[in-house]
């Protein structure tokens, strides 16, 4: 990253950015929610569009001088519609959680009942956890995965929905590695008269590539972050059926937010353009292959992979039987230059600060063009590091090997 002005203007900030850039280049990112953006996305994100205020929607702004910004936002919307086939799209949400807040605000009143997946089964904080606004404002009832299969049991969801009669059912998760039966959710929601809300933050890129099923045709409303598998800037979007267009737009602004971040809208448009290219489909297919390769190898090595494999870009290792906690594992891997996130396992006997598992994802490594061969190496390094978590010598040796691999597979930005 060569900056012309920053090192002169602000040495401290320039130095911190340079160090983080070096870390990203030399270390391996296996956190399932992270990715590396392209130089084109980065340039759009760093543009002067950040200077402009444009509360409202294209053609209906509360500030003058927005004709060019309107063009930008309409371009982002048009590309997003092409990717997912949605009737209406709002590209202004600042991030996933505010997007979900806007969705709830559009369809619910405080205290209304909503069905969401339990956090320790793979749900997101914004799907009704008590420490999150969602759990404080709305009356969330949680469903879980089947303890035997690790998969969502649709008969159980139906039973809970019939008992609770929620106003909305939320599907789409943060730590769930199996295909989701959107149609079955829709059918249950129709039976009890509930709205359907899909949060595809994690799998949006795989759905965009046509490799996982798309909830857009069935669901009332769909939200996604743009920075996970979709490989855009930090941010989010909301898609909905045409009849809800006004409700959603009003919930985003003035309901939840003020002015949209136009530089981010530009970067979203670039990322959507990239997602429409054939090369993105290849990328997404490799993401899934790489995750399956890692999960399969861990199983061969005797590890317990939740649900016994994966259909998408991530999987959860249950380390319970190995006498190592999720946090310990995270710290050990940090020492070899591999980032993973500690994760709960379904019905985790341990607390969230030190849960029983780690979540591993392939999107970022795949952006570096790593394939099955590299993934196998990575699995064996992880295994070795976990088995020698207190042996500084072994960890130092693995760290060197990780760095060598990373330098051979550069990140897309300089």
Smallest separation (angstroms) from ligand PLP to the CB of 336: 26
Q: Which residues pair with 304 in a beta bridge?
A: 318
Which letter, b or e, does each residue of 193-211 get, where b requires 16 or more Cβ atoms within 10 Å of its Cβ? ebbbbbbbbbbbbbbbbeb
202 binds ligand PLP (CB under 6 A): yes
- Distance (Å, rounded) from C-alpha 124 to C-alpha 130? 11
Q: How many residues bind ligand PLP, per CB under 6 A?
A: 15
95 binds ligand PLP (CB under 6 A): yes
- Cβ closer to ligand PLP: 28 or 238? 238
Active site residue 225: yes
- Cβ closer to ligand PLP: 174 or 265? 174
172 binds ligand PLP (CB under 6 A): yes
Active site residue 53: yes
- Distance (Å, rounded) from C-alpha 11 to C-alpha 17? 10
Active site residue 348: no
Segment 209 to 238, residues that bind ligand PLP, using CB under 6 A: 225, 236
- Cβ closer to ligand PLP: 177 or 395? 177
Question: Exactly one of 26, 27, 43, 53 is catalytic; which is it?
Answer: 53
134 binds ligand PLP (CB under 6 A): no
- Tell me the residue nearest to ligand PLP as measured from the CB: 96
Taking a C-beta distance cutoff of 8 angstroms, is the pair 164, 113 a contact?
yes
Active site residue 55: yes
Stretch of 60-68, 196-204, 338-346, 358-366 contacting ligand PLP, by CB under 6 A: 196-204
**Among 24, 33, 132, 196, interactor with ligand PLP by CB under 6 A:** 33
- Strand-pair category, 113-117 with 139-143: parallel
201 binds ligand PLP (CB under 6 A): yes
199 binds ligand PLP (CB under 6 A): yes
Taking a C-beta distance cutoff of 8 angstroms, is the pair 42, 374 a contact?
no
- Cβ closer to ligand PLP: 225 or 257? 225
Question: Exactly one of 27, 55, 328, 372 is catalytic; which is it?
Answer: 55
Smallest separation (angstroms) from ligand PLP to the CB of 121: 12
Site string for ligand PLP, 5-24 (x = CB under 6 A): --------------------
Stretch of 35-43, 167-175, 340-348, 367-375 contacting ligand PLP, by CB under 6 A: 167-175
97 binds ligand PLP (CB under 6 A): yes
- Cβ closer to ligand PLP: 33 or 318? 33
Smallest separation (angstroms) from ligand PLP to the CB of 398: 29
Smallest separation (angstroms) from ligand PLP to the CB of 224: 8
Site string for ligand PLP, 98-127 (x = CB under 6 A): --x-----------------------x-x-
User: Contact residues for ligand PLP (CB under 6 A)?
Assistant: 33, 95-97, 100, 124, 126, 172-174, 199, 201-202, 225, 236
Catalytic center residues: 53, 55, 199, 225, 228, 234
């Amino acid at each position: 990253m060569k900056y012309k002005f920053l090192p002169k203007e602000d040495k401290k900030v320039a130095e911190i950015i340079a160090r983080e850039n070096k870390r990203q280049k030399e270390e391996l990112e296996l956190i399932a929610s992270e990715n590396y953006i392209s130089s084109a996305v980065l340039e759009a994100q760093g543009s002067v569009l950040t200077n402009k205020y444009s509360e409202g929607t294209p053609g209906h702004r509360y500030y003058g001088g927005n004709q060019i910004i309107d063009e930008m936002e309409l371009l982002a919307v048009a590309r997003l519609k092409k990717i997912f086939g949605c009737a209406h799209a709002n590209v202004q949400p600042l991030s996933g959680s505010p997007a979900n807040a806007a969705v709830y605000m559009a369809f619910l009143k405080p205290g209304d009942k909503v069905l969401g997946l339990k956090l320790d089964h793979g749900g997101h904080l914004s799907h009704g956890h008590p420490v999150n606004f969602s759990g404080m404002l709305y009356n969330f009832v949680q469903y879980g995965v089947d303890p035997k299969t690790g998969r969502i049991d649709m008969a159980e969801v139906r039973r809970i929905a019939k008992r609770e009669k929620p106003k909305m059912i939320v599907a789409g998760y943060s730590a769930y590695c199996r295909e989701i039966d959107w149609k079955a959710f829709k059918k249950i929601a129709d039976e009890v008269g509930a709205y359907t809300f899909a949060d595809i933050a994690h799998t949006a890129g795989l759905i965009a590539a046509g490799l996982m099923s798309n909830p857009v045709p069935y669901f009332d409303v769909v939200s996604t972050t743009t920075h996970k598998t979709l490989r855009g800037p930090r941010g989010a979007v909301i898609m909905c059926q045409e009849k809800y267009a006004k409700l959603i737009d009003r919930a985003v602004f003035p309901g939840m937010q003020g002015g949209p971040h136009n530089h981010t809208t530009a970067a979203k448009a670039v990322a959507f353009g990239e997602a429409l290219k054939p090369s993105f489909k290849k990328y997404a297919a490799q993401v899934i292959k790489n995750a399956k390769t890692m999960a399969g190898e861990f199983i061969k090595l005797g590890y317990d992979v939740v649900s016994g494999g994966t259909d998408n870009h991530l999987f959860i290792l249950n380390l319970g039987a190995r006498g190592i906690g999720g946090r310990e594992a995270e710290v050990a891997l940090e020492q070899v230059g591999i980032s993973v996130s500690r994760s709960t396992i379904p019905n985790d006997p341990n607390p969230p600060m030190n849960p029983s598992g780690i979540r591993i994802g392939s999107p970022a490594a795949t952006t570096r063009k790593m394939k099955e061969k590299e993934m196998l190496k990575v699995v064996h390094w992880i295994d070795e590091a976990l088995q020698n978590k207190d042996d500084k010598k072994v960890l130092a040796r693995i760290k060197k090997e990780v760095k060598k691999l990373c330098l051979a597979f550069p990140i897309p930005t300089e």
